[in-house]
């Protein structure tokens, strides 16, 4: 039976060099042409949420997730990342999954440095962190993606940031909130000088700042005018991105939350072909 997932094998160490290399897997290639009609994926209580959108020359490209909910929790209990396209009202999506990376979700999506180039990062977004994070890279505007996993310094690390310059110098960064297994809190940068073909071993940047905790729903103020409660917001450097996702539920206080980026601009929830947005 044909599978619509990619499987990543056992992590392999690169051969010794003057500068130690990061433990990575060999890239796996996936094709957008293998996408299937989205309604086929919306079964057993799953909902599709689009969290990021790019506009490569081929046309709009969406990055999102298939979230599974139980009957008692507004947060998903399982998620699968997807890459999707839309032709009028017809959605097609390519679901992804990976060994060693439980419940992965998009943590970064961006275009560049070249015209048809796309970079994206995935990490666990539900439950305990996984031992690796994943980089997705396209050079043809999203028609194909090369997928490669990089082992974290310690499992507790979480994907934090990504940058790539036109000269091929870049970094993928994970963060660690407290000392774990001999690794100090701070940022761990995986550097590349060849456009992501290889990655150096993590470079440590200490951090002594203790970050604030997010405010839970039960501590949010009630909105007297609407009788509803602000449930959750995203964080962005772009003020236009500071919006809430409104699910297909009419009651905001009970709105279901996508697993990866909470409150991303323009996101929409799709449930068995229906769609709602913040403008509904």
The candidate with the shortest Cα–Cα distance to 245, out of 86, 67, 59, is 67
User: For residue 216, what pLDDT is reported?
Assistant: 87
Strand ordering across the sheet containing 144-151: 28-31, 144-151, 132-138, 118-124, 104-111
DSSP structure string for 213-249 = PPPPGGGSPEETTTTEE-------SSGGG------SS
Cβ atoms within 10 A of the Cβ of 99, count?
15
In angstroms, the CA 100 to CA 73 distance is 25
Cis peptide before 13 (omega within 30 of 0): no
User: For residue 74, what pLDDT is reported?
Assistant: 76
In angstroms, the CA 204 to CA 212 distance is 22
Degrees to nearest 5, angle at CA 53 with 48 and 57: 130
Q: In 181-190, which positions are buried (b, 16+ CB within 10 angstroms) versus exposed (e)?
A: eebebbbbbb
Flag whether 189 is in a domain. yes
Flag whether 262 is in a domain. no
Flag whether 37 is in a domain. yes
Q: How far is CA 65 from the centre of its chain?
A: 8
DSSP structure string for 97-130 = --TT--SEEEEEEEE-SSTT-EEEEEEE-SSSPP
User: For residue 12, what pLDDT is reported?
Assistant: 28
Number of domains comprising the chain: 1
Stretches where the chain sits below pLDDT 50 are: 1-19, 229-256, 261-280
User: For residue 240, what pLDDT is reported?
Assistant: 33
User: For residue 264, what pLDDT is reported?
Assistant: 38
User: For residue 22, what pLDDT is reported?
Assistant: 66
Flag whether 78 is in a domain. yes
Asked if 60 contacts 54 with a C-beta cutoff of 8 angstroms, the reply is yes
Flag whether 4 is in a domain. no
In angstroms, the CA 48 to CA 53 distance is 14
Flag whether 205 is in a domain. yes
Phi and psi angles of residue 234, each rounded to the nearest 5 degrees, phi first: -95, 170
Instruction: Give residue 61's domain range.
Output: 28-209+220-246
pLDDT digits (tens, 9 = 90+) for 15-48: 233 346 667 778 889 999 999 999 999 877 789 9
**C-alpha atoms less than 13 angstroms from C-alpha of 104 in its C-beta half-sphere:** 30
End-to-end Cα distance, the chain: 40
pLDDT digits (tens, 9 = 90+) for 83-96: 999 998 899 999 99
Flag whether 120 is in a domain. yes
Asked if 170 contacts 161 with a C-beta cutoff of 8 angstroms, the reply is no
SS3 40: helix
């Amino acid at each position: 039976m044909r599978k619509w997932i990619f499987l990543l094998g056992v992590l392999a160490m690169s051969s010794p060099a003057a500068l130690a290399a990061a433990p990575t897997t060999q890239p796996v290639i996936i094709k957008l042409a293998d996408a299937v009609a989205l309604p086929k994926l919306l079964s057993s209580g799953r909902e599709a949420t689009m969290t990021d959108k790019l506009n490569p020359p081929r046309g709009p490209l969406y990055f999102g997730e298939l979230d599974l909910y139980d009957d008692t929790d507004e947060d998903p209990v399982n998620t699968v990342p997807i890459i999707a396209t839309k032709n009028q009202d017809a959605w097609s999506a390519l679901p992804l999954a990976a060994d060693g990376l439980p419940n992965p979700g998009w943590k970064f999506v961006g275009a560049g440095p070249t015209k048809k180039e796309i970079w994206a990062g995935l990490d666990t977004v539900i439950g305990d962190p996984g031992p690796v994070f994943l980089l997705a890279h396209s050079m043809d505007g999203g028609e194909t993606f090369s997928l490669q996993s990089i082992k974290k310094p310690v499992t507790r690390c979480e994907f934090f940031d990504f940058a790539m310059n036109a000269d091929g110098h870049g970094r993928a960064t994970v963060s660690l909130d407290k000392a774990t297994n001999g690794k100090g809190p701070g940022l761990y940068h995986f550097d590349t000088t060849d456009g992501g073909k290889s990655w150096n071993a993590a470079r440590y940047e200490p951090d002594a700042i203790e970050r604030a905790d997010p405010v839970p729903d039960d501590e949010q103020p009630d909105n007297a005018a609407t009788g509803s409660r602000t449930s959750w917001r995203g964080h962005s450097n772009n003020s236009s991105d500071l919006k809430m996702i409104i699910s297909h539920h009419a009651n905001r206080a009970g709105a279901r939350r996508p697993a990866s980026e909470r409150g991303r601009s323009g996101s929409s929830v799709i449930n068995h072909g229906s769609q709602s947005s913040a403008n509904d």
